[in-house]
Structure 1
Amino acid sequence: MNPSLRVLIVDDHPLFREGLCSLLKRLAPQACLTQTSSIDDALTHAPDRFDLVLMDLHLPGTEGLDGLLRMKAHYESAAVVIISGDESPVTIRSAIQQGASGYIPKRTDVNVTIQALQLVLAHGVYLPPEAMLVRPADTPPPPSSPIEPLSERQRAVLRGLLQGKPNKVIAADLGLAEGTIKAHLWAVYQVLGVQNRAQAMYRAHELNLFGALGPERTTL
Structure 2
Amino acid sequence: MTVIRVAVVDDHPVFRLGMVALLSTLDGIEVVVEASSAAEALRAVTDEVDVVLMDIELGDGSGVEATKELVARLPDLLVLMVTMHEDDDSLVASVRAGARGYLVKGAGPEEVERAVRAVANGELILGAAVAQRAMGFMAASVSLPSAVFPSLTVREREILDLIAAGHDNATISRRLVLSPKTVRNHTSNILAKLGAADRSSAIVLARDAGLG
TM-score grouping bracket, smaller chain normalisation: 0.5 to 0.7
Partner letter of residue 2 of structure 2?
Answer: N
TM-score (norm 1): 0.56
For the pair 1:130 / 2:132, whether they are aligned, the reply is: no
* Residue matched to 1:69: 68
Q: Aligned in 2, Cα 1:111/1:30: closer, same or farther, shift over 3 Å?
A: closer
| Alignment gaps of 5+ in structure 1 | 142-220
* Residue matched to 1:59: 58
Q: Contact conserved, 1:21 with 1:33, CA < 8 A, in 2?
A: no
Q: Contact conserved, 2:23 with 2:31, CA < 8 A, in 1?
A: no
Partner letter of residue 122 of structure 2?
Answer: H
Q: Contact conserved, 1:88 with 1:130, CA < 8 A, in 2?
A: no
Q: Which has the higher contact order (CA 8 A, sep 6+)?
A: 1
Task: Return the index of the structure with the highest Cα Rg.
Answer: 2
Specify the SS of the correspondent of 1:65: helix
Residues 14-33 of structure 1 aligned to structure 2 (within 5 Å) = 14-28=13-27, 31-33=30-32
Q: Contact conserved, 2:51 with 2:78, CA < 8 A, in 1?
A: yes
* Identical amino acids, percent of aligned pairs: 27
Q: Contact conserved, 2:6 with 2:29, CA < 8 A, in 1?
A: no
| Alignment gaps of 5+ in structure 2 | 144-212
Q: Aligned in 2, Cα 1:103/1:40: closer, same or farther, shift over 3 Å?
A: same
TM-score (norm 2): 0.58
Q: Aligned in 2, Cα 1:114/1:15: closer, same or farther, shift over 3 Å?
A: same
- By how many angstroms is 1:59 displaced? 0.5
The total of aligned residue pairs comes to 140
Q: Contact conserved, 1:6 with 1:51, CA < 8 A, in 2?
A: yes
- By how many angstroms is 1:116 displaced? 1.4
* Residue matched to 1:43: 42
Task: Provide the rounded CA distance (Å) in 2 between the counterparts of 1:138 and 1:58.
Answer: 29
Task: Provide the rounded CA distance (Å) in 2 between the counterparts of 1:130 and 1:50.
Answer: 28
Cα root mean square deviation, aligned: 2.4
Q: Aligned in 2, Cα 1:136/1:91: closer, same or farther, shift over 3 Å?
A: farther
Task: Provide the rounded CA distance (Å) in 2 between the counterparts of 1:20 and 1:39.
Answer: 18
Instruction: Report the structure, 1 or 2, having the larger helix content.
Output: 2
Q: Aligned in 2, Cα 1:90/1:32: closer, same or farther, shift over 3 Å?
A: closer
* Residue matched to 1:11: 10
Task: Provide the rounded CA distance (Å) in 2 between the counterparts of 1:128 and 1:20.
Answer: 16
Q: Aligned in 2, Cα 1:101/1:19: closer, same or farther, shift over 3 Å?
A: same
